[in-house]
Amino acid sequence: MVVHAHSGLRYLVLLAGLATLVWGIRLLAGGRPHDQRLYNLAATYRLLLALNVFLGVAVLFSGRFYPAVGLHIVTMLFALATGWIVPTVMRRRPEEERTVVPYMVGVGVSLGLVATGILLLGRPVVG
């Protein structure tokens, strides 16, 4: 059951990450500054990713381990760390110094690591 939840939650993680990137592109294209919706989308992505990592740890403790899982775990932990670094740094900046680009880079790199981690298991990213 936990394995299915862990595998299924990846779609919500990918959707939240893509929504964050799309909103960031829209803000950049319109020349608009950082807004609360971008922060909320990035927070949703981080929350879902953290939940998925927690479920992955539960799967690991259930006894499902094979060699490819080791690299998968490493990439997912790096993806989680990357997803949390940018918002933490941006929160400490004054409002006028907050921009869209760091959020997009952080989420983009994190999504790339998530996709790499899924591919390391020998599974397609979507499908």
Return d(Cα 90, Cα 85) in angstroms, integer: 9
What was the pLDDT predicted at 62? 85
pTM of the model: 0.90
What was the pLDDT predicted at 42? 92
Q: Would you tell me how many other CB atoms lie within 10 Å of the CB of residue 40?
A: 12
Question: Which ranges of the chain have pLDDT less than 50?
Answer: none
CA pseudo-torsion sign 45, 46, 47, 51: positive
What is the H or E stretch that residue 68 is in?
A: helix 67-92
The pair phi, psi for residue 73, each rounded to 5°, is -65, -45
What was the pLDDT predicted at 32? 87
Give residue-wise pLDDT tens across range 85-122: 988 888 888 878 888 898 899 999 999 999 999 999 88
What was the pLDDT predicted at 67? 80
Return d(Cα 33, Cα 100) in angstroms, integer: 7
Structure tokens at 122: 């020998």
